[in-house]
A = this chain, B = another copy of it.
């Protein structure tokens, strides 16, 4: 049995790369998917495909069409969603992805530093699992396959 895990949340450091490398070291049968991590391309993808838009709002609208297509297709294919929140980037988008996962009945593993417990309390209560580090999230994934 192989699981597919969607990695939502901030795209400003390489936590996804770290997580994938460690999962691979442990030979976990997990296939990871996620959003476009190149922030500039993610912001410009609408105009890249459709050409210049009349203003910044419509530039964002068409970029979001493309990014939401990607998120939606990949999240629907996933068995578990992990969302990481960091101190610096308080993205609404990450919270929305996490809540979509929950509402679609995908178990959510929420990663957040202890300092963020208050603003994320409702999301944490709805998550299946809340942890503080990428390593702990990996342990939770690994536990699904452990035999004893």
Interface residues in chain A, defined as those with a beta carbon under 8 Å from any beta carbon in chain B: 1, 3-4, 31, 33, 36-38, 41, 45, 48-50, 54-58, 60-61, 63-74, 76-77, 79-80, 85, 90-100, 102-104, 107, 109, 114, 117-126, 128-132, 136, 139-140, 143-144, 146-148
**Set B1, B128, B146: member contacting A31, Cβ < 8 A:** B1
- CB pair B56–A54 under 8 Å, yes or no, is no
For the complex formed, measure the closest distance between the CB of A121 and the CB atoms of chain B, giving whole angstroms: 4
CB distance from A34 to the nearest CB of B (A): 10
User: Are the C-beta atoms of B38 and A93 separated by less than 8 Å?
Assistant: no
Contact of A90 among B37, B90, B129 (CB under 8 A): B90
Inter-subunit contact B122/A93 (CB<8 Å):
yes
Known: A41-B148, A92-B95, A107-B72. A64 touches B118 (CB 8 A): no
Measured between beta carbons, the chain B residues less than 8 angstroms from A3 are 73
Q: Are B65 and A129 in contact (CB under 8 A)?
A: yes
- A118 CB to closest chain B CB (Å) equals 6
**Which residues of chain B come closer than 8 Å to A148, judged between CB atoms?**
36-38, 41
